[in-house]
């Protein structure tokens, strides 16, 4: 069977990529991606889910919303050691740790975090915004401004869950209101602060990020917010495994986010927000927010870029824009995406229960494997 090598010219930041066509099978080789927003949890759950991420990604920004949250440098270092111990023996995966910002975080803690070389960002959870965010910030400007100023001095990025928690604000409007009332004033007050608006979901977020100075404000995007709209929560009944925060939005917003990430803009990069929960915590009267997408994320990102005729821009989104924003070297290892059908497992079973992956039981294309 002959192999045809096709060089695809790409955006300026990409150079060239190789797309091989073996008969009807296509293979796409990319620089190994990183995940710039990942929940690994702890204990047995950490051990269960970490292999799915390390099989695809070289590094990941690890979220700090454990119980108790990772609020100190010492806790971040200890959590990092727990992750390293849970890795498969052959893994070269590097966890990039974060601190959980609170009303009482001190500037000295930011200095200490920077000195360790293992803490790469600080996470802002508005109190009550999502899973384990009850210890989050209640008054960003009144209680955290001195910490944010020190973050500018230390070149420490702020990672933002961009939703207000005021109960009078409609859940579908919380991202836009956060931009107008918190994020825009923050950028105006501290223009040198590096900010990542995480898991953006709306055209309002796209427009905001694109309006900011490149290199200071960026956004991560999840696979679920690229392939699903809010109808997916209710098709044929209530779908708890499609429930996440920020919640899925209208189709017009999904299309805006897709257009942004496939445009070649350096302001957007991969962040899965993969958030595992045991099945019983999702399928109950008051289910947890979070979609477990680690096993399928790369396949879904490739699907979106292919459908938009933008496979030449996929590598920048998955592998270049993130490390460039953080000032880190790009990975040198490679990953292969082969366009062959594969079925997503119905569930992953462990001693503590089942974890249901995104698109469970469905057939996807673009199967990833490390080279």
Question: Would you please indicate which residues are annotated as catalytic (active-site) residues?
Answer: 37, 39, 123, 161, 199, 273
End-to-end CA distance of the chain: 21
Pairing relationship of beta strands 16-22 and 3-9 according to DSSP bridges = antiparallel
- Give the span between the Cα atoms of 305 and 16, in whole angstroms: 16
- Give the span between the Cα atoms of 198 and 248, in whole angstroms: 14
Residue at token pair 């924003």: 325
Annotate 278-322 with DSSP letters as a single string: -HHHHSSTTPPP--B-TTTHHHHHHHHHHHTT-GGGHHIIIIIHH
65: CB partners within 8 A, 6+ apart: 39, 100, 123, 125, 130, 131, 132, 133
Structural contact between residues 305 and 270, judged by C-beta atoms closer than 8 angstroms: no
Number of other residues whose CB lies within 10 A of the CB of residue 47 = 17
- Give the span between the Cα atoms of 49 and 62, in whole angstroms: 13
Helices (H), the chain: 43-54, 73-86, 107-116, 140-143, 145-154, 174-178, 184-189, 203-211, 224-227, 251-261, 279-282, 297-307, 314-315, 321-326
């Amino acid at each position: 069977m002959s192999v045809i090598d096709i060089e695809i010219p790409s955006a300026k930041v990409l150079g060239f990529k190789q797309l091989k066509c073996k008969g009807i099978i296509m293979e796409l080789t990319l620089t190994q991606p990183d995940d710039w927003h990942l929940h690994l949890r702890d204990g047995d759950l950490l051990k269960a889910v970490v292999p799915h991420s390390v099989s695809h990604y070289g590094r990941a920004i690890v979220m700090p919303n454990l119980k108790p949250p990772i609020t100190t440098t010492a806790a971040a270092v200890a959590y990092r050691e727990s992750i390293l111990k849970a890795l498969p023996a052959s893994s070269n995966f590097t966890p990039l740790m974060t601190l959980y910002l609170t009303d009482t975080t001190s500037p000295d803690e930011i200095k200490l975090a920077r000195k360790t070389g293992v803490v790469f960002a600080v996470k802002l959870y508005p109190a009550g915004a999502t899973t384990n965010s009850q210890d989050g910030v209640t008054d960003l400007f009144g209680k955290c401004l001195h910490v944010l100023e020190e973050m500018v001095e230390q070149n420490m990025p702020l990672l933002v869950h961009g939703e207000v928690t005021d109960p009078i604000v409609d859940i579908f409007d919380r991202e836009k209101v956060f931009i107008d009332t918190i994020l825009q004033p923050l950028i105006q007050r501290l223009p040198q602060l590096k900010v990542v608006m995480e898991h953006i979901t709306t055209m309002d977020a796209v427009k905001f990020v694109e309006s900011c100075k490149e290199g200071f404000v960026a956004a991560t995007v999840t696979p679920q917010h690229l392939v699903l709209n809010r109808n997916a929560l209710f098709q044929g009944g209530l779908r708890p495994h499609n429930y996440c925060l920020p919640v899925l939005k209208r189709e017009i917003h999904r299309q805006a986010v897709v257009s942004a990430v496939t445009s070649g803009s350096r302001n957007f990069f991969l962040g899965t927000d993969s958030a595992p929960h045991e099945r019983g915590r999702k399928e109950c009267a008051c289910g947890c927010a979070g979609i477990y997408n680690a096993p399928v994320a790369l396949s879904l990102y490739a699907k979106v870029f292919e459908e938009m005729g933008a496979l030449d821009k996929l590598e920048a989104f998955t592998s270049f824009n993130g490390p460039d924003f953080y000032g880190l070297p790009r990975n040198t290892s490679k990953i292969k995406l082969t366009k062959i059908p594969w079925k997503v497992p119905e569930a992953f079973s462990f001693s503590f229960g089942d974890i249901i992956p995104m698109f469970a039981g469905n057939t996807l294309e673009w199967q990833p494997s490390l080279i």
